[in-house]
Amino acid sequence: MDLDITIQPKGLKNRGENNCFLNVILQSLWNIEVLRNQLMSQTRHVHEKSFFEESEDQNLCLKCEIEHLMVEIQFSESKSIPSTTVRRALSQLTSKFQDRAMACAVEAFEEILMYIHRESVSNSICINSSSIYIKDQLNSTICNPPCISHANFTLQTIDEYFCCGKDRTAHIQNEFFLRIYVSELEAQYQIFAKINEKVLPDLDILIGEAVREDLMVNCYNTCDECCQKVEIKRRWITTPRVLALYLIWNSDVSFSKTLLTCLRHELRTSVIFSADADQEIYRTYTLKGLICYKEYHYVSFYYSPIFNKWYKTDDSSIQKIDSWSKVLSKINRNGFQPIILFYEAAAENSIFLADSNESAQAPHVEGEGISKGYFDSCSTF
């Protein structure tokens, strides 16, 4: 998330347009250096037509508007930049993001990533995605070489089944997010707390245990020979350059303190899913930013290594935060629910997984838990 030394952090305007869900995504894309560089160095491409044939904004290209916004952030002397044209470009794609309507940041992020993918594919095969049918085709078309979205965010896993000395594989999964329910993390934390209240598990350990528990509970396969339930493991195939962790909040969960207490700067792939000893994948990730939610409003936090500071972005407002512990305290004190956590792969290009056993420490967070609010579905918007 490097920022050029001459570029001060800038806000994104939101004058009653309900753009906060989009602004936090745009801030995240800007503050992840590899994404910013790729988006700002895009080549000429065919533009995707509007989902709404009669839209006055049907000639707006979402990818180009994001690039234009980044150019303004880089060169404008203004402390706050309007994101209106990006919102208009997004709203023409689907009725979910119509002007001035509140929407889900996760869904917006996925739509942006898929739009970038469709643009890449449509340019390579000379198709203009002017209908829903063609859009669906392009969504499922493999991009080769990988588009910006898939080159940076795709994580691929496979579920393996074992019993009676035999194994078989099924269910290869390709995702932009690593998704986990907060309620599952809470349940795993309670298990650890009963064993030893003084030793707090890291977030990656909770995620790994929650995934394994979920796989076993929801596995209905039995062995043809012994008729027992098969053992199931999820294994990494590929790891992304940018790991986006999507925390799903149940409507009946007001859990926060546990999550923030277990949150570390480092995330280790080896304790989440398994991998072959000689498999070359990204081993560790560093937390670079996060998007939070509270009462139909989004804010984001990101770290700038150039300024060696954390920043909170709340639309036009930019607030400098001196340390990570103060970030955690602010999230806890204001009742923000972390929704998406962005981790970048460690500085080394790729590294063998086998010897990963490090653990970073984080300060304890005091205060009350976060209020309810971010539900399983974004349909409440």
Q: Assign domain 1-153 one CATH number from 3.40.1440.10, 3.90.70.10, 3.90.110.10, 3.30.1330.10.
A: 3.90.70.10
Predicted pLDDT of residue 52: 43
> Which residue type sits at 27?
Q
Give the Cα separation of 195 and 141 in Å (integer). Answer: 48
For residue 219, which of 271, 160, 270, 274 has the smallest C-alpha distance?
160
CATH 3.90.70.10 residue spans of the chain:
1-153
Q: Which of 262, 328, 335 is nearest to 290 (CA)?
A: 328
Please give the angle made by the CA atoms of 326, 332 and 333, to the nearest 5 degrees: 85
Of 254, 338, 272, the residue nearest 302 (C-alpha): 338
What pLDDT score does 181 carry? 92
Tens digit of each residue's pLDDT, the chain (381 residues)? 444 445 788 999 999 999 999 999 999 999 998 899 999 886 666 565 544 444 455 678 899 999 999 999 999 989 999 999 999 999 988 889 998 899 999 999 999 999 999 888 876 655 554 455 577 777 778 888 899 999 999 999 998 877 766 666 677 889 999 999 998 998 899 898 888 777 789 999 999 999 988 887 766 566 666 767 777 889 999 999 999 999 999 876 655 677 888 998 899 999 999 888 788 899 899 999 999 999 899 999 999 888 889 999 999 999 999 999 999 999 999 989 999 999 999 865 444 443 333 333 333 343 344 444 434 435 445
Q: What is the per-residue pLDDT for 89?
A: 94
Q: Which residues fall within 8 angstroms of residue 39, CB to CB, at 6 or more apart? A: 29, 63, 66, 67, 70, 148
